[in-house]
Amino acid sequence: MQSFLKKARQSQFYGVALLILVTLIIWIIFWLLTNVINPGSFGQPDKMLTYLQRGLIYSVGACGFYFVVVQGLFDFSIGSMIILSELMSIAFIPQAGWFSVIVIPVLTGFVLGLVNGLVFKMLRIPSMIVTVGMSLIYEALSVWASGINGTTLQSEFSIFGSYPWNLVFALACFFVTGFIIKYTKIGTYSNAIGSNELTAKNMGVNVDKYKVIALTLTGTFCGAMAVLYLGYGTAQTPQTGMLSQSLNFLPLMGVFFGIAFKRYGHPIVAIVIGEFMVSMMLAGFIAIGVSTTVNQIVTGITVLLILALTTKRRNGAVVK
Amino acid sequence: MADKELLLHAEQIDKRFGPTHAVNHVTLDFYKGEVHCLIGENGSGKSTFTNMLTGILPIGSGTFTLEGKEIAPRNQIDANHHGISIVVQEQGTLDGLTVAENMFLGDEDQFMKNGIKNARAMVKKAQELLDSYGFNYIKASNPIENYTFEERKLIEIVKSTWFNPKILVVDETTTALSQDGRYELFKVINRVRDQGNCVIMIDHDMDIVMSMADEISILRDGNLVGTVQKDEVNVEKLKTLMVGREMNGKYYRTDWGASLAISMKNVSVPGQLDDVSLDLHKGEILGIGGLSECGMHEVGKALFGASYDRTGSVELADGTPINDINTAIDHSIAYTSKDRDNESLLINDSISDNISLPSLRDMGRVLSGRKIREFADKYAQEMSIKMVNTDQFVMALSGGNKQKVVLARWLGKQSNILLLDSPTRGIDIKVKSDIYNLLDDMRRQGKAILIISEEIAELIGMCDRILIMKDHKIEAELKRSEDLTDTEIIKYMI
């Protein structure tokens, strides 16, 4: 038995199996609780599909964010990029139709991410500071964009807000991310830069270039997330005064899972399961009548506990 | 030299770091089919010279001409493309990547087609190369973190030599390797030489230099002192050339103490130590030797309260248990790790901060910048650290001077029990001799010293007792004796 467990732990699927198991346990706990407190409010197949739908949306954003965090950078402009991408999508629908629903937000995200990257490279100040500054600019631009064609998506353009197109779109994004990580230099170099930037430089890695690429990818996937988010919500009001920051944190949750399970070789799968788990927990707490504030506290603690208990942590390893 | 074919000509190579003149207009020739050793004290400019050749540092001034063509590598991979590679002194592989990704980092283009990487082909080639070197127990597809420091060094050796470089630089690598690892490295060096290429080897171990070198160049304070053929010199002559005066290389002593300072009883650490017990006495130097993965490096950590999941007990003579680092430091115990840059030094901090760190708790609640500086200056001078001042960052120091900073820290703390893991790793014979003298003085003062070392000569020369470890256990205890030989010690190791 012991040797079986040892062998299982060495398998690259161990991390994924562990996450699925934890998800199942959480589902059982909430299902039992809601059966006592509020029967029928949690865990039925249609509700599970809703949790998955939300999880998919944030997972797409997390895909791009992953490259930035793995390199040791950070991006505080995610929320503002998503909102501006959504409003740009709405703005150009009268002229461009479906092109504006799918391509314009992704393109907007790409341009904003590229601008973040270039400003970061030019100014040579920490990415956190650069992206906070840029976030304020993007928030102001979102007010301008909302004036072009309003803030509501016509219902005939909201197909990415439900199955099956949301799933198709999200799977395409996951496939692209997985491909970039495994089959391009970007994945390898991002890990190398995050591990030791100076050594990576000595190996001929153009560190500045790959940091710009990481920030650009973050923007691009924020644009992709905007496609799903707008389809799901069908409206987006502009946010100012850093209020867009609240949108940063759910994609970040997924990134935590991706980074923690990177060693097992399946960061994207970990991101998706992690986001689904968080989405399910948030819904579960609502179902048992926990207030939003307590809900956030308990969800935060639970995520930290799950990551602490399920990831391979080496004694004495430096954790940054 | 007429029958030798010139491979590389270095002309007036020069490099400054601020006020430090690290390499001073050095002109040197390297020939095909030779091992050319560069020797000199720490800070003499050896690594700076080879770092410029291999693209790690930009060339200050001067030129390198390889087979008649001037070269100025921009980075290590560019140097590889010119046929030059290096095995660095410290860890040169990166966490977060697989073995195969590390081996081809920066050189993935051979596996790329239309921007897409053929990951399977990369792993396959990496595995073939590892197998061809006899390292088939290393799996190319595994994360590099799965392997030990020594195994990662072996991977670096494969990475640096598989493409048959014209010039291979081996920068103080032997100190990171056990006897087995050294054997593998020497095999590779001999192969490179036999293929008509050149190995530039930096090493402080004079026995290794004398056994491997064809030609030896000596650097002192950034200047080239001279180049000699191996047959023209002996070890003593080399030491004199290096230091500029005659050296006494005999470290052998004949007296030691007996009252207990610290003991460990039945200590086990999963995967590292298996039921190890030992006593360390005041006025004694106790040595621990063995092959790299025998568990000896964990002994220092266990005694310092730094081991994880430790069972068994570590106690001072008065019965005080040592279960954590703070208790250890509070009870005058010092520890230096083999992995100097990662575990002993604040590499991106000043010499002053590094020396004063454990002593800050003795300097009162409100710290005085002046007091800290005076403290650091005093012990930096006592250890003769080569520096501009104590505000200088440790990162810019040579290996030996870094080690002096570590020792100055514990000297300042006036520790009574010193646990020194590889205290002379990567250190030249002059500093080595200084450190031995310092340890001997400390021992005379009644301090208890534990030396964990892969250098057998050091164990024989310095220690009152030597414990040989094998498979995480103590295999043998050898008393100090003039008749003790390398062979006898190695017999217990393997």
Q: Are B485 and B474 in contact (CB under 8 A)?
A: no
Distances in whole angstroms, Cα of residue B433 to Cα of each of B252, B427, B445: 12, 10, 18
pLDDT of residue B16: 86
pLDDT of residue B250: 47
- Render pLDDT for B56-113 as a digit per residue (tens, 0 to 9): 999 999 999 999 999 999 999 999 999 999 998 777 888 889 999 999 998 898 999 9
pLDDT of residue B244: 66
Cα–Cα distance, B108 to A75 (Å, whole number): 29
B74, B85, B97, best to mutate vs chain A, most A CBs in 10 Å:
B97
pLDDT of residue B257: 53
Residue A203 to chain B, least CA–CA distance (Å): 5
Q: Spell out which residues of chain A touch residue B342, defining contact as CB-CB under 8 Å.
A: 318
pLDDT score of B252 more than 50: no
Report the CATH architecture of A14-28+41-306.
Answer: Orthogonal Bundle (1.10)
Q: Spell out which residues of chain B touch residue A315, defining contact as CB-CB under 8 Å.
A: 308-309
Split at pLDDT 50, 70, 90, the class of B150 is confident
pLDDT of residue B340: 82
pLDDT of residue A320: 45
Assembly ipTM:
0.75
Q: Are A66 and A258 in contact (CB under 8 A)?
A: yes
pLDDT of residue B66: 96
- Render pLDDT for B105-121 as a digit per residue (tens, 0 to 9): 988 989 999 889 999 99
Query: Looking at the domain that runs over B260-493, which CATH code has it been given?
Result: 3.40.50.300
**CB-based contact B308 A316, cutoff 8 Å:** yes
Do B6-243 and B260-493 show the same overall fold? yes
- Render pLDDT for B315-366 as a digit per residue (tens, 0 to 9): 999 999 999 988 898 899 999 988 888 788 887 788 998 898 888 878 877 8
Split at pLDDT 50, 70, 90, the class of B249 is very low
Cα–Cα distance, B9 to B64 (Å, whole number): 6
pLDDT of residue A10: 67
pLDDT of residue B126: 96
Domain boundaries, chain A: 14-28+41-306
pLDDT score of B248 more than 60: no
Q: Are B167 and B200 in contact (CB under 8 A)?
A: yes
**CB-based contact A203 B117, cutoff 8 Å:** no
Residues of A with CB under 8 A from a CB of B: 70, 182-185, 188, 191-192, 194-196, 199-205, 262-263, 314-316, 318
Q: Are B479 and B465 in contact (CB under 8 A)?
A: yes
* Average pLDDT, consecutive stretches of 10 residues, N- to C-terminus, chain A (320 residues): 69 82 92 89 91 96 95 93 97 94 97 97 91 95 94 92 95 95 90 84 86 97 97 93 87 89 84 93 88 76 70 54
Cα–Cα distance, A290 to B276 (Å, whole number): 54
Report the residue of chain A nearest B100, measured CA to CA: A188
Q: Spell out which residues of chain B touch residue A188, defining contact as CB-CB under 8 Å.
A: 97, 101, 105, 108, 117
Report the residue of chain B nearest A198, measured CA to CA: B56
SS3 content of chain A, % helix, strand, coil (to 5): 80, 0, 20
pLDDT of residue B146: 85
Cα–Cα distance, B235 to B213 (Å, whole number): 12
- Render pLDDT for B407-465 as a digit per residue (tens, 0 to 9): 998 888 888 999 999 888 877 777 788 888 888 888 888 999 999 998 888 888 889 99
Q: Give the tokens for residue B383.
A: 């250890």
pLDDT score of B233 more than 80: yes
Which class does domain B6-243 fall in? alpha beta
**Exposure letters B62-85 (e unless 16+ CB within 10 A, then b):** bebebeeeebebebbbbbbbbbbb
pLDDT of residue A115: 97
How many residues are listed for chain B in this entry?
494
Domain boundaries, chain B: 6-243, 260-493
**% chain A with pLDDT above 70:** 92
Q: Helix (H, G, I), strand (E, B), or coil: what is residue B375?
A: helix
Cα–Cα distance, B290 to B299 (Å, whole number): 12
pLDDT of residue A89: 97
